[in-house]
Amino acid sequence: MKLTVVYDNEASSGLRDGWGFACYIESEDMNILFDTGWDGEILLGNMFSLDINPNDVDTIIISHHHWDHIGGLPTFLSINPDVDVIVPHSFSCALKKEIQARISGKVIEIRSKRKITTNIYTTGELGVDLKEQSLILKSKQGSTILSGCSHPTLKITMTSLDDNENIFGFIGGLHDSEEFDFMDKFTFIAAGHCTKHKDVIKNIYPGIFENIFAGYVKILKQ
C-alpha cells in the first residue's frame, strides 16, 4: 500500500504548499483520496506533478467538514465525478446533497467503524462537537492511523483499534495535541498540516518523528 501526501502546509521542490491536507492511497483493490485540501487547483497541480491521475481515484473520503479538508472537492469533481464520496454522518444535509449532485457515484454516510476495502477501515465519526473520521491502514508491520486533524484527540481515535491490534504508525495532523506520553506506542509519527507541537514531538521522539509535506511517500508492506 502506497501513501502519497498530495496537499500540505509544506511541499517538496516542484510542488505547491497550501493550508490543508490530502493523501492519495494506492491499495490492492481501490485508489482513495483522503481529504482534498483547500485549493483544488493546488491539489490537482500537485497530483499531476506527482504523476497521479485524478481519474484513477475510485473513492474520496473526507475526514471532517473544515474548509481545509473539503475545499478542493468541487474542483476535483469537475475532473473526475465518477467516484463515491464517504463522509461523516454529521455532515449537513445540504452539503451531502450538494456533493451528490456533482458525482455519478454515491455519498456514503459513516457513523461507526467499518471496512472500506481490503486492509482499510474507517474509525467511524468520533468526537462530540466536531466529529471526524480517520482511517486504519493494516499492513504486515501493524496498523497505521491516517488522520486529517485528530480533533477528537489521538487517544479517542485509537480506541477504534482492536484490543490486540499491533500499532505501527501515525500519519497526518495532530492539531494542538499534547498527548506526548501516548505517542510512544508508535514506531513512526509522520506529522504535518495543523500539528502545533511538531518541534516538541521531534525533540521527544527524534528517532521516529517524520515531517510530512506534499510529496511525502510512505510504503506499508502488505
User: What Rg, from alpha-carbon coordinates, does the chain have?
Assistant: 16
Q: Give the cell for residue 212.
A: 510530512
> 185 or 213: whose pLDDT is higher?
213
Q: Give the cell for residue 178.
A: 499534547
Cβ contact 80:59 at 8 Å = no
Instruction: Give 89-148 pLDDT, tens digit per residue.
Output: 999 999 999 999 999 999 999 999 999 999 999 999 999 989 999 999 999 999 999 999
Mean pLDDT of the chain: 96
What 3-state DSSP class applies to 155? helix
The yes-or-no verdict on residue 199 having pLDDT over 90 is yes
**Helix (H) or strand (E) run with residue 20 in it:** none
Gap between the Cα atoms of 98 and 107, Å rounded: 10
Gap between the Cα atoms of 77 and 217, Å rounded: 24
Question: Which residues on neighbouring strands pair with residue 2, listed in sequence order?
Answer: 26, 219
Complete domains list, the chain, with CATH: 2-219 (3.60.15.10)
How many residues comprise the chain? 222
Instruction: Give 48-99 pLDDT, tens digit per residue.
Output: 999 999 999 999 999 999 999 999 999 999 999 999 999 999 999 999 999 9
pTM of this prediction? 0.97
**Helix (H) or strand (E) run with residue 97 in it:** helix 93-101
Number of alpha carbons in the 13 Å side-chain half-sphere of residue 140: 5
Gap between the Cα atoms of 40 and 24, Å rounded: 14
- Predicted local distance difference test score (pLDDT) of residue 85: 99
